[in-house]
């Protein structure tokens, strides 16, 4: 739904008949979904009239995305209720959180988010605001993902069906074991003629059985899918020869050297986990039935701001974090701000492990296999601001357990330990289900 700058039929949402139903059943679901999905602190629907909204934002006309002048951590997004080319009302809402600065820089992301929400709030309006509690749940997630990852060359609504299909495959097994698979959505398969294995007859994804889906693993090989959900074969990605193994990891995963704009990937990553991504690193993941938006810049920028470490160290930490998550390895990575033994010992028990004559380093590819094994071991791995492994199998001293409100809400000793360690620097908790939580003092980021 293209943004319409015409004067709406009503200048405030509260003037719409039955809108109070949305406030009772729909508003909470809408706000909570966006908070989880975008990993932000707060979402507020603005029900005031347009003149009040413009005065507050210090603008003369309403735009789709607007900064809040007196708060750098807030932006105002405006979706629309529009039927048969008639603009009924604007639907403004404010996003608050540190991540909004990153989103504001992604120029195409927020307008597409607004468009997807426009479709859903219009549907809610057409149903007299009945059903808002389910309209703004799973259905909204699929609409946002399909709309934000695709371009106008593709029908975002059509690809919600593909996402549903992948959700089904993420719970399927072949000969008793989970199997990953994936597709590249493209409007021009000729761009992938190198390393392309054509079928004798074309396939429709609705008619593929598990044995056929098993042929592509969603890592090196992918079904090529056109805008009509037809596949003519499987593409095998090129072999990356980059000497930088960290860059190679991200380029391989996002198919930087193979994926053409505006094409995108939809794949299963693990049991009950799917991913939708493009070559720029924009990614939407569904882990344990919760959709989240991910971009490597938000993770690395957070570490850079908190620890003042080089970006190449931030990306190395992200690589190992994602490896744990995608391989369903439970682990804790702790990067203290003060790496002195005194401050490390103050938060940990005495059974710390240090066995290597020469320190392992995240930036050394030959150390990778050992570091991955350490991450699979019990306890936390301690990394300094140069990427060196200071200690392994470190356990937080739970006798110094925090007693904040946030700590009381946490479930599991691993999260409590990560929270305690993060009083000095940043602690990253990766759960066996693939969930990633980043702790820094009282802050918690879900990645």
User: What are the pLDDT digits (tens) for 371-400?
Assistant: 999 999 999 999 999 999 999 999 999 887
What CA–CA distance (Å, rounded) separates 214 from 311? Answer: 37
Question: Quick one: pLDDT at residue 280?
Answer: 78
Question: Quick one: pLDDT at residue 401?
Answer: 64
- How do residues 24-45 score in pLDDT, each as one tens digit? 888 999 999 999 888 889 999 9
Confidence check: pLDDT of 120 > 60: yes
What CA–CA distance (Å, rounded) separates 333 from 94? Answer: 33
Mean pLDDT, range 323-336, rounded to an integer: 94
Question: Quick one: pLDDT at residue 154?
Answer: 57
Confidence check: pLDDT of 175 > 90: no
Question: Quick one: pLDDT at residue 411?
Answer: 53
Question: Quick one: pLDDT at residue 292?
Answer: 87
- How do residues 262-283 score in pLDDT, each as one tens digit? 889 999 988 888 999 988 778 9
Write the burial class of residue 5 (CB in 10 Å: 0-12 exposed, 13-18 middle, 19+ buried): exposed
Confidence check: pLDDT of 49 > 80: yes
Top-confidence residue, 205 or 92: 92
Task: Kindly report the pTM of this predicted structure.
Answer: 0.84
Lowest mean pLDDT across 13-17, 49-53, 95-99: 95-99
- Does the domain at 158-293 match CATH 2.60.120? Answer given as no
In the chain, the percentage of residues whose pLDDT exceeds 70 is 95
Question: Quick one: pLDDT at residue 136?
Answer: 80
Task: Locate the domains of the chain by residue range.
Answer: 13-136, 158-293, 296-446
Question: Quick one: pLDDT at residue 407?
Answer: 47
Mean pLDDT, range 324-330, rounded to an integer: 90
How far apart, in Å, are the Cα atoms of 242 and each of 247, 252, 279, 314?
Answer: 8, 10, 17, 19
Confidence check: pLDDT of 315 > 50: yes
In the chain, the percentage of residues whose pLDDT exceeds 90 is 57
Question: Quick one: pLDDT at residue 156?
Answer: 58
The reply to whether 296-446 shares the fold of 158-293 is yes
As a whole number, the mean pLDDT across the chain is 89
> Domain 296-446: what homologous superfamily?
DNA integrity scanning protein, DisA, N-terminal domain (3.40.1700.10)
The CB density around residue 398, as the number of other CB atoms within 10 Å, is: 11
Question: Quick one: pLDDT at residue 100?
Answer: 84
Question: Quick one: pLDDT at residue 322?
Answer: 94
Give the model's confidence band at 405: pLDDT under 50 very low, under 70 low, under 90 confident, else very high: very low
Top-confidence residue, 161 or 224: 224
Give the model's confidence band at 145: pLDDT under 50 very low, under 70 low, under 90 confident, else very high: confident
């Amino acid at each position: 739904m293209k943004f319409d700058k015409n004067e709406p039929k009503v200048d405030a949402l509260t003037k719409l008949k039955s809108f109070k139903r949305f406030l009772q059943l729909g508003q909470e679901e809408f706000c909570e979904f966006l908070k989880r999905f975008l990993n932000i602190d707060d979402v507020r629907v603005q029900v005031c009239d347009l003149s009040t909204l413009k005065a507050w934002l210090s603008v003369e006309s309403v735009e789709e995305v607007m900064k809040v002048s007196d708060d750098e951590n807030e932006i105002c997004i405006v979706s629309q209720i529009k039927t048969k080319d008639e603009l009924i009302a604007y639907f403004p809402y404010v996003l608050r959180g540190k991540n909004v600065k990153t989103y504001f820089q992604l120029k195409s992301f927020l307008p597409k988010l607004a468009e997807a929400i426009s479709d859903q709030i219009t549907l809610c309006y057409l149903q007299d605001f009945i059903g808002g509690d389910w309209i703004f749940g799973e259905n909204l997630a699929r609409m946002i993902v399909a709309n934000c990852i695709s371009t106008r060359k593709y029908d975002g609504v059509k690809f919600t069906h593909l996402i549903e299909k992948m959700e089904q495959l993420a719970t399927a097994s072949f000969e008793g074991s989970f199997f990953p698979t994936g597709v590249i959505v493209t409007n021009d398969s000729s761009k992938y003629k190198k390393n392309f294995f054509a079928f004798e007859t074309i396939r429709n994804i609705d008619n593929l059985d598990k044995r056929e889906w098993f042929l592509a693993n969603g890592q090196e090989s992918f079904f090529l899918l056109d805008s009509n959900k037809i596949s003519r074969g499987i593409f095998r990605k090129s072999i990356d020869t980059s000497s930088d193994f960290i860059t190679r990891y991200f380029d391989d995963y996002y198919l930087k050297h193979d994926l053409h704009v505006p094409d995108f990937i939809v794949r299963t990553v693990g049991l009950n986990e799917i991913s939708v991504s493009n070559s720029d690193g924009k990614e939407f993941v569904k882990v344990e039935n919760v959709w989240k938006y991910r971009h490597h810049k938000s993770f690395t920028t957070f570490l850079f701001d908190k620890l003042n470490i080089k970006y190449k160290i931030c990306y190395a930490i992200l690589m190992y974090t994602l490896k744990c998550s995608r391989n369903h390895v439970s682990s804790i990575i702790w990067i203290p701000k003060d790496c002195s033994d005194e401050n490390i010992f103050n938060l940990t028990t005495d059974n710390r492990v240090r066995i290597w004559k020469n320190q392992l380093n995240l930036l050394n590819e030959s150390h990778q296999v050992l570091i991955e094994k350490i991450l699979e071991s019990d306890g936390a791995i301690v990394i300094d601001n140069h990427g060196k492994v200071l200690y392994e199998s470190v356990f937080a001293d739970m006798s110094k357990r925090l007693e904040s409100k946030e700590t009381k809400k946490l479930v599991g000793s691993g999260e409590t330990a990560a929270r305690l360690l993060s009083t000095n620097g940043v602690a990253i908790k990766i759960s066996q289900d693939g969930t990633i939580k980043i702790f820094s003092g009282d802050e918690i980021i879900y990645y």
